[in-house]
Amino acid sequence: MAPAPPPAASFSPSEVQRRLAAGACWVRRGARLYDLSSFVRHHPGGEQLLRARAGSVENEAVALEETQKTDPAMEPRFKVVDWDKDLVDWRKPLLWQVGHLGERYDEWVHQPVTRPIRLFHSDLIEGLSKTVWYSVPIIWVPLVLYLSWSYYRTFAQGNVRLFTSFTTEYTVAVPKSMFPGLFMLGTFLWSLIEYLIHRFLFHMKPPSDSYYLIMLHFVMHGQHHKAPFDGSRLVFPPVPASLVIGVFYLCMQLILPEAVGGTVFAGGLLGYVLYDMTHYYLHFGSPHKGSYLYSLKAHHVKHHFAHQKSGFGISTKLWDYCFHTLTPEKPHLKTQ
């Protein structure tokens, strides 16, 4: 932590409060004042933890040190980079450069940095590759509500039957009372899909001699591991997300009767929204220690900064338990 210039003694309490109100995050320890403004969004316990202590006469810096010592799982480890000597030129879009890294790509992409990433030359395409977190509920929750109401009305008419594609004699009627169960089934299935995509697609190791597969991996997920606190790339942008969601919807319509497949899809779409919102919160939120979200945050921090080949669940650790991919716990020191 670097002390805020000039010396802390030159700032009156009213000046400190004015700076804090303007967005600075200054923490006092003894007679010195420390400027944590550039670090606050990367703090492992969340931004609110530091801002709640900023400017107080209490011994805030000691509290910060104790937080990091008592829970090392929450401590990110960023790579110290000489930007002029890195394997890529950060002044240019990265997507067209990473394919040339070859065997060096896998190690490079799992060395996190604290700066944002630019992928494309075109401002339009670059803009479509980023989004704010609240675009996800604004766009997709109304669709979940519309599909749910529409398919519930179809169930209420009493004309929904299973196995009509195979037989007309032994079809099974699906009553409207099944609607909540099918919807929740979709949400549950999404948690499995989330795990499988994250583990086997996002964390595939592209062949070192394939320029285009390295590029594909970087644009899908590698850029998130390289810059995990780039807030504009933490949730899926609407345009590429709509293409993937459309494919899932068509698959459900092909496999199941329209109302059944649509209801399962609507539940899965809600699961996706919860997943993206949870993912954003795990990076920038400040859950209470001992809470379920705190456990998920520690799980995800370890996935990013220590154990990239485990801890693939985001909204739940259920499938990490089932498939034995939980991030390892820090061993306890033996006492004499």
> Does 303 carry a binding-site annotation?
yes
> Does 300 carry a binding-site annotation?
yes
Q: How far apart are CA 20 and CA 220, in angstroms?
A: 38
Q: How far apart are CA 313 and CA 326, in angstroms?
A: 9
Question: Which amino acid, 330?
Answer: K
Do residues 74 and 297 lie in contact, with contact meaning Cβ atoms separated by under 8 Å? yes
> 167-206: string of b/e by CB count within 10 Å (b at 16+)?
eeeeeeebebebbeebbebbbebbbeebbeebbeeebeeb
**Cis? peptide before 6, omega within 30° of 0:** yes
Pairing type for strands 26-29 and 161-162 reads: unpaired
**Own/partner pairs, 138-145, CB within 8 angstroms, 24+ separation:** 139/238, 140/245, 140/269, 140/272, 140/273, 141/270, 141/273, 143/269, 144/266, 144/269, 144/270, 144/273
> Does 221 carry a binding-site annotation?
yes
| Contact residues for 247 (Cβ-Cβ < 8 A; gap 6+) | none
Helix/strand/coil percentages in the chain, nearest 5: 55, 5, 40
Q: How far apart are CA 68 and CA 331, in angstroms?
A: 17
> Does 279 carry a binding-site annotation?
yes
Other C-beta atoms lying within 10 Å of the C-beta of residue 219: 16
Pairing type for strands 32-35 and 26-29 reads: antiparallel
> Does 100 carry a binding-site annotation?
no
> Does 288 carry a binding-site annotation?
no
> Does 121 carry a binding-site annotation?
no
CA terminus-to-terminus distance, the chain:
35
Residue 288 burial (C-beta neighbours within 10 Å; 0-12, 13-18, 19+): exposed
List binding-site positions. Answer: 198, 203, 221, 224-225, 279, 283, 300, 303-304
List binding-site positions for Zn(2+). Answer: 198, 203, 221, 224-225, 279, 283, 300, 303-304
